[in-house]
Amino acid sequence: MCVPICAPTLPEMETMVVRAGSVADIIELRADCLLEQEVPKFVERVGQIISSVAVPVIITFRPAEEGGYRTLTILERKEFWQSMKPSPKVLFDIEYVLTTTEAVIRSSNIVCSNHSFEGVPVDFERRYERLAATPARILKVAVQANDTVDCLPVFRLLERAANEGKKLIALAMGDAGLTTRILGPSRGSYLTYAALEEGSGTAPGQLTVEQLRSLYRIDKINRKTRIFGLVGSPVMHSISPHVHNAGFEAEDVDGVYIPFEVKDLKPFIERMVRPGSRELDWQLGGLSVTAPHKLTVMDHLDWIDDRALEIGAVNTVVIEGDKLLGYNTDVDGFIEPLLTMNALSGNSRAAVIGAGGAANAAVWSLKKTGVDVVLFARNAEKARLLAEKFSLSCEPLEGATFAGFDLVVNATPLGSLGARQQLTPATADQLNGVKLAYDLVYNPSETLFMSEAKAAGCQTLGGMEMLVAQARRQFKLWTGKDAPAEVMHAAALRGLKK
């Protein structure tokens, strides 16, 4: 694990180096982060900085066009590199363009690198071949991933480099490239990069040391590790990795749970998931499925549980042999907290707001429990289809009043962390007289909907309980083991705080 150090002044850099020395396997000194007047000081003191830590060091002086922090001329870069003194402990990360102009440093410890921030280039393999033709000891390629399938060329290149006896650092940047950062070292990448703390990353999608070591347990991942993950877009806000990885750790499961940023589901299923056609040799065991794929994933499965068929949504995929099996654990996750609270009876009335996959699960669960359900939604056509499917009455959300309902469920994404956080499907005036307001959004822990409900005098229930309850059932489907409920719940709370 390489920790990049990016600071504007030399004293700040030296302070961060000391901190990084206790957690990193390698430290990268980003000289391009320094203010212009600080670079000569760095050149003068670099030997002392290197000797202050026990781990190896990479020195980088990256130009802006390759992802650096400063505009640097060829001459500036040459002068910098020619001032560096070779050392067995030091690697020099030099861009391919510069290494081809002339020998800029007399050292065999060169990392020859190439970066692409516009996606995976069509000549990706050819770029690797050009790097491999240099005398560099280590090669590095980094590309921008826009969808998780963009990780495939990176993994293929790692396989090729291993077969050719080349040392290669290969990764995909951005949220969609996260898989390469977590699985890369176990598949031959010379290293992976990790930020010292939140906000100190030097490339898009870079995780922290704590996340890689504690959350994803990167030091325990190998080629036999079973892979699970969350498929959707967006997914980086999810705390499911905290929940499931804590469960794997507690039950001694050799597994890791990763968020997969997937906009186009079909190529992901065909190229990375389905055993008969996938292009990656990995131990994929199962998937969680979230928006916007809970409905469309059903078209790609070999078998679907009766409950999921009735609901019309799948949130869990189990890979068994060469088959993809679909389940819906949202139904149990949704109803369990309500039953625990004794919040429902045979004559209860519930209003469900929404018409997507979460609303499907909520309506199905409530109907099975004997609750009278009325549907409210912004999308009239989707609401009409859902209402017909479950023989419900359906009313427009705009101007609705929920007085007289025992339960009101927010099954929309309104109020979730991000652009929708300041939105609510119902106000305090609309919720006046309601007994219990149940928000399926779990992040943040108190949404605007819940605040409005409290102002109206309602009891409230957040989505955290549902999240953990449905995750426990996924855990059982994937591993055959009973999930450690308390461990997973505590991990969910920790993840939410972070």
76 in the Ramachandran plot: left (φ > 0), alpha (ψ -120 to 50) or beta? Answer: alpha
Looking at residue 104, its pLDDT comes to 64
Same domain as 181, residue 51: yes
Examine residue 333 and state whether it is found in any structural domain, yes or no.
no
Same domain as 487, residue 413: no
Q: At which of 202, 221, 240 does a domain end?
A: 221
Looking at residue 102, its pLDDT comes to 57
Is 382 marked active-site?
no
CATH code where residue 404 lies: 3.40.50.720
Same domain as 238, residue 168: no
CATH code where residue 210 lies: 3.20.20.70
Same domain as 349, residue 317: no
Report d(CA 194, CA 213) in Å as an integer.
10
Same domain as 131, residue 51: yes
Same domain as 290, residue 217: no
Looking at residue 103, its pLDDT comes to 53
Do residues 158 and 171 lie in contact, with contact meaning Cβ atoms separated by under 8 Å? Answer: no
Same domain as 175, residue 97: yes
Residue span of the structural domain in which 266 resides: 228-328+468-497
Indicate which residue of 220, 294, 368, 382 is catalytic.
294
Question: Taking the CA of residue 105 as centre, how many other CA atoms within 13 Å lie in the half-sphere pointing to its CB?
Answer: 28
Q: At which of 221, 247, 282 does a domain end?
A: 221
Report d(CA 219, CA 109) in Å as an integer.
25
Do residues 114 and 140 lie in contact, with contact meaning Cβ atoms separated by under 8 Å? Answer: yes
Examine residue 335 and state whether it is found in any structural domain, yes or no.
no
Looking at residue 8, its pLDDT comes to 97
- Per-residue pLDDT of the chain in tens (498 residues, 90 and over written 9): 999 999 999 999 999 999 999 999 999 999 999 999 999 999 999 999 999 999 999 999 999 988 999 999 888 998 999 899 888 999 999 998 886 555 566 677 999 999 999 999 999 999 999 999 988 999 999 999 999 999 999 999 999 999 999 999 999 999 999 999 999 999 999 999 999 998 888 898 999 999 999 999 999 999 999 999 999 998 998 999 999 999 999 999 999 999 999 999 999 999 999 999 999 999 999 999 998 999 999 999 999 999 999 998 899 999 999 999 999 999 999 999 999 999 998 799 999 999 988 898 999 999 999 999 999 998 888 889 999 999 999 999 989 999 999 999 999 999 988 889 999 999 999 999 999 999 999 989 999 999 999 999 999 999 999 999 999 999 999 999 999 999 999 999 999 988
* Count of domains for the chain: 3
Same domain as 203, residue 143: yes
CATH code where residue 489 lies: 3.40.50.10860
Looking at residue 177, its pLDDT comes to 98
Same domain as 433, residue 359: yes
CB atoms within 10 A of CB 339: 12
Report d(CA 68, CA 88) in Å as an integer.
25
CB atoms within 10 A of CB 36: 9
Place of tokens 């499911």: 240
Same domain as 265, residue 172: no
Same domain as 294, residue 199: no
Burial (CB < 10 A; 0-12, 13-18, 19+), residue 482, is: exposed
Examine residue 334 and state whether it is found in any structural domain, yes or no.
no
Same domain as 197, residue 115: yes
